[in-house]
Amino acid sequence: MAQDDIKTEMDKVIGELERRGINYNQQQTPDDLTGLGDVVESVLTTVGITEERFKQWFNLQECNCNKRKKWLNNLLSWKKTQG
């Protein structure tokens, strides 16, 4: 799949969710919270899929990973546990 196709598809998904009323809170997430975007990033990084690697694979200058991470964090966040 071409780089523009991937970005277009992901933007369609977010756009459709927003159209259905699923929006995220644009305020900065407090340090004591973690979110779905943090978890996805952590799991992907653990298995070797980093933002840089993703951009390399698909020959992207920018993948908007941080925007999607923030969107997911604000969609679903919870208080971090101590441990």
Please tell me which residue, 5 or 59, carries the higher pLDDT value. Answer: 59
How many angstroms separate the CA atoms of 79 and 83, rounded? 13
How many angstroms separate the CA atoms of 35 and 48, rounded? 20
Could you tell me the pTM of the whole model?
Answer: 0.61
pLDDT at 29: 53
State pLDDT tens for residues 25-74: 555 556 777 889 999 999 999 999 999 998 999 898 888 889 889 888 88
Closest Cα to residue 63, out of 16, 8, 26?
8
Closest Cα to residue 69, out of 9, 5, 14?
14
